[in-house]
């Protein structure tokens, strides 16, 4: 893979900044509970391992999995309306169940369930029609093949499984049109090697030369494993460079925003509550403000945000997720120019409440939690003659003055407000150093 190929391939991705992650599979049918007992700790897509459900029992869920309310066009429209420029859906998670029609395994949604359709095909078509780029998640870890459903997932006949894995990737990359992103997952399993990663990366790029592949196709250092609720590297930022994967096009911090950019292209993936897969009793939803602040923080450091939804057993995206995505979409309609196609400015943040991005000679100050007083002081941009200040979404002229070497701006009263809080406000500065 030449650097030029990488640079040209990443162009749209770097401009996109924001995508939808979708975790949907047999586990969605269970909603986080097994035989009436809720799995409170592990995310719901891990229930097979958390409850040590043998494959012969787990596969029976397929008999009842019939998400008749699934509407691919509605999902693509929701992503587009939220300002998400690409989507990544689980084609096969660790449980080994294929959410697409596979000739290599009848343990798939089209052949093993009353639903009988191929949602990957329907979603690929819907994304194509709606201008949202289509991507897939694929897990190397596979509890249909392993001795036990466990994090290590030891597979007795690994050679045969590896052939199956490559065959499924061939199916996914030749049947559904352009696949913009391939998100591998499960690289921590001992049997997966960097050599496998190179071989699979070569295969995928031979089938879709423009495809963007994450670092988990390779073999990240174990440092990326979760410790105390946050990856080890999140506690020791200097380790980030060490732990970044050496294969693929971008690194994948998960459920946290790195304190410093990890170097190269990177994307934080994050849940809106605490579970990737649908968990009916998980109501710990992040607020819209938190989610927009996360997006602003990620982008101000040059990263992308892949924000997750976990559709339920009927094929519906949970209402709390829909509400948040619609609010974020409204905010991006007004303020998207401070996110899309931007690059980090010389200063990424000023205190806890201000993030900076830059584009086409302008600097954007994203005020995460606008003060009631409406007076904003910006210490980082240096005022110059001819500096022009506006607030995105507000036509009114902005009063501002210099105070020593800082800007003091008066925000108009009618900036973005939401029930009980105030959405971030964006000040655009032209002509500052």
- The site for ligand FHN (CB under 6 A) is made up of 43, 45-46, 185, 254, 269, 276
Taking the complex as a whole, the smallest distance from the CB of residue 230 to ligand FHN amounts, in Å, to 12
Query: What distance lies between CA 36 and its chain's CA centroid?
Result: 31
Nearest to 311 by CA among 302, 303, 320: 320
Nearer to ligand FHN, 153 or 370 (CB): 153
Are the CB atoms for 256 and 263 separated by under 8 Å?
no
Are the CB atoms for 244 and 270 separated by under 8 Å?
no
Taking the complex as a whole, the smallest distance from the CB of residue 128 to ligand FHN amounts, in Å, to 25
Nearer to ligand FHN, 187 or 201 (CB): 187
Taking the complex as a whole, the smallest distance from the CB of residue 352 to ligand FHN amounts, in Å, to 27
Region of residue 306 (phi > 0: left; psi between -120 and 50: alpha; otherwise: beta): beta
Taking the complex as a whole, the smallest distance from the CB of residue 124 to ligand FHN amounts, in Å, to 20
Measured from each CB, the residue nearest to ligand FHN is: 276
Nearer to ligand FHN, 151 or 371 (CB): 151
Are the CB atoms for 309 and 273 separated by under 8 Å?
no
Taking the complex as a whole, the smallest distance from the CB of residue 131 to ligand FHN amounts, in Å, to 25
Nearer to ligand FHN, 43 or 383 (CB): 43
Nearer to ligand FHN, 282 or 327 (CB): 282
Are the CB atoms for 100 and 91 separated by under 8 Å?
yes
Taking the complex as a whole, the smallest distance from the CB of residue 193 to ligand FHN amounts, in Å, to 19
Phi, psi values for residue 122, rounded to 5°: -65, -40
Taking the complex as a whole, the smallest distance from the CB of residue 276 to ligand FHN amounts, in Å, to 4
Q: How far apart, in whole angstroms, are the C-alpha atoms of residue 286 and residue 273?
A: 6
Nearer to ligand FHN, 244 or 362 (CB): 244
Nearer to ligand FHN, 185 or 327 (CB): 185
Taking the complex as a whole, the smallest distance from the CB of residue 212 to ligand FHN amounts, in Å, to 16
Nearer to ligand FHN, 44 or 105 (CB): 44
Taking the complex as a whole, the smallest distance from the CB of residue 226 to ligand FHN amounts, in Å, to 7
Nearer to ligand FHN, 26 or 269 (CB): 269
Taking the complex as a whole, the smallest distance from the CB of residue 93 to ligand FHN amounts, in Å, to 6
Neighbours of 199 (CB within 10 A): 14
Nearer to ligand FHN, 176 or 276 (CB): 276
């Amino acid at each position: 893979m030449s650097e030029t190929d990488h640079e040209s391939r990443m162009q749209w991705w770097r401009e996109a900044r924001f995508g939808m992650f979708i975790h949907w599979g047999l586990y969605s049918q269970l909603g986080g509970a097994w035989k009436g007992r809720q799995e409170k700790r592990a995310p719901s897509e891990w229930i097979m391992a958390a409850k040590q459900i043998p494959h012969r029992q787990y596969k029976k869920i397929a008999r009842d999995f019939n998400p008749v309310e699934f509407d691919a066009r509605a999902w693509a429209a929701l992503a587009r309306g939220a300002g998400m420029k690409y989507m990544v859906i689980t084609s096969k998670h660790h449980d080994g169940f294929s959410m697409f029609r596979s000739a290599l395994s009848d343990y798939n949604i089209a052949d093993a369930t009353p639903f009988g359709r191929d949602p990957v095909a329907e979603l690929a078509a819907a994304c194509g029609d709606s201008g949202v780029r289509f991507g897939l998640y694929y897990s190397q870890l596979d509890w249909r093949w392993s001795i036990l459903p466990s994090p290590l997932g030891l597979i007795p006949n690994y050679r045969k499984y590896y052939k199956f894995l490559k065959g499924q990737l061939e199916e996914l990359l030749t049947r559904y049109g352009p696949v913009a992103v391939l998100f591998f997952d499960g690289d921590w399993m001992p049997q997966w090697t960097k050599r496998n990663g190179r071989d699979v990366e070569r295969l995928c790029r031979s089938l879709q030369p423009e495809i963007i592949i994450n670092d988990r196709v390779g073999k990240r250092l174990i440092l990326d494993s979760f410790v105390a609720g946050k990856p080890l590297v999140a506690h020791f930022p200097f380790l980030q460079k060490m732990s970044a994967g050496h294969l693929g096009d971008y690194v994948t911090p998960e459920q946290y925003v790195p304190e410093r950019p990890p170097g190269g292209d990177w994307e934080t993936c994050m849940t809106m509550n605490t579970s990737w897969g649908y968990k009916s009793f998980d109501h710990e939803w992040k607020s819209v403000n938190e989610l927009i602040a996360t997006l602003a923080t990620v982008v101000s450091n040059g990263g992308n945000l892949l924000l997750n939804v976990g559709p339920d057993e009927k094929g519906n995206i949970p209402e709390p997720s829909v509400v948040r995505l619609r609010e974020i979409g409204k905010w991006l309609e007004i303020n998207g120019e401070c996110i899309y196609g931007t690059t980090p400015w010389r200063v990424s943040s000023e205190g806890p409440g201000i993030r900076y991005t830059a584009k086409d000679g302008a600097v954007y100050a994203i005020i995460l939690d606008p003060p009631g007083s409406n007076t904003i002081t910006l210490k980082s941009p240096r005022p110059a003659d001819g500096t022009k200040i506006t607030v995105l979404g507000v036509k009114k002229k902005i009063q501002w003055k210099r105070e020593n070497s800082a800007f003091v701006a008066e925000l108009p009263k009618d900036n973005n407000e939401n029930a009980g809080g105030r959405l971030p406000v964006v000040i655009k500065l032209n002509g500052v150093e």
